[in-house]
Chains A and B, each alone.
Chain A
Amino acid sequence: MPEMKEGCVKPARGPILPASQAAQAPGATTPQEVSKVLARVGKEAIDFEANAFVEGVGFKPVKLSDYKGKWIVLCFYPGDFTFV
């Protein structure tokens, strides 16, 4: 498949489960499978790849594990242009 150019729709990848868990849950990207909360303190972070806007770079896919080896802060928020 040719590399997808900057289109309107570009699927992200995630969660990217370790091979052992992925084997237990084939088709782990179906909505039922991913609704399970897997993140816990003291446990390994769940990897994913997301489309991102990066200042000075533009659009690029970013994987959480690209930052392995560093201290990472992962922040979620309700939406761009909201108030808080």
Chain B
Amino acid sequence: MSTDSRFVHKIWQEQELSKMVKGGVPFPMMSDAGGKVGAIYGVYEEDAGVDIRGRFIIDPDFVIRAMESLTPEVGRNPDEMIRQIKAFQHVRATGEVTPSGWQPGQVTLKPGPALVGKVWEVWKP
């Protein structure tokens, strides 16, 4: 989603994105003309009139689980985004929690009185 019109999105897809991504970007390219959506999500930069690089992960219950925002010069890291989604999915499925830098298959933590002060025994970063 950006403040560009749907017309510009179409031409960008046809002229450039489809040459970088086979078949073009498969997701809806939404127009936030006026920045109203960006404003409520906290990513609308009024001086420039654009939405900055914001990213939100929303779970199946429609609850926002993660947000990230960058100034425009630095691009995102899709691997980290996917890692976060996998971690939230694991938490949702199991009730366990995932320590810093967790990757699928690595040790998770089971919160409870028995774990207090004992994290060091089960999690070795």
CB pair A76 B12 closer than 8 Å = no
Q: For residue B55, which residues in chain A have a CB less than 8 angstroms away from its CB?
A: 73-76
Task: Count residues of chain B with CB under 8 A from any CB of chain A.
Answer: 60
CB pair A39 B52 closer than 8 Å = no
Task: Count residues of chain A with CB under 8 A from any CB of chain B.
Answer: 47
B58 on the A face (CB < 8 A): yes
CB pair A62 B16 closer than 8 Å = no
Given A55-B24, A73-B81, 18 other A-B residues pairs in contact with their CB atoms under 8 A: A12-B33, A15-B40, A42-B63, A43-B63, A45-B58, A50-B1, A52-B29, A52-B30, A53-B7, A54-B29, A59-B10, A68-B60, A75-B54, A75-B56, A76-B32, A77-B51, A78-B50, A81-B8
Q: For residue B42, which residues in chain A have a CB less than 8 angstroms away from its CB?
A: 37, 39
CB pair A51 B6 closer than 8 Å = yes
How far, in angstroms, from A53 to B6 measured CA to CA in the complex? Answer: 5
Q: For residue A81, which residues in chain B have a CB less than 8 angstroms away from its CB?
A: 8, 12, 16
A80 on the B face (CB < 8 A): yes
Q: For residue A84, which residues in chain B have a CB less than 8 angstroms away from its CB?
A: 53, 72-75
B26 nearest in chain A by CB position: A55
B67 on the A face (CB < 8 A): yes
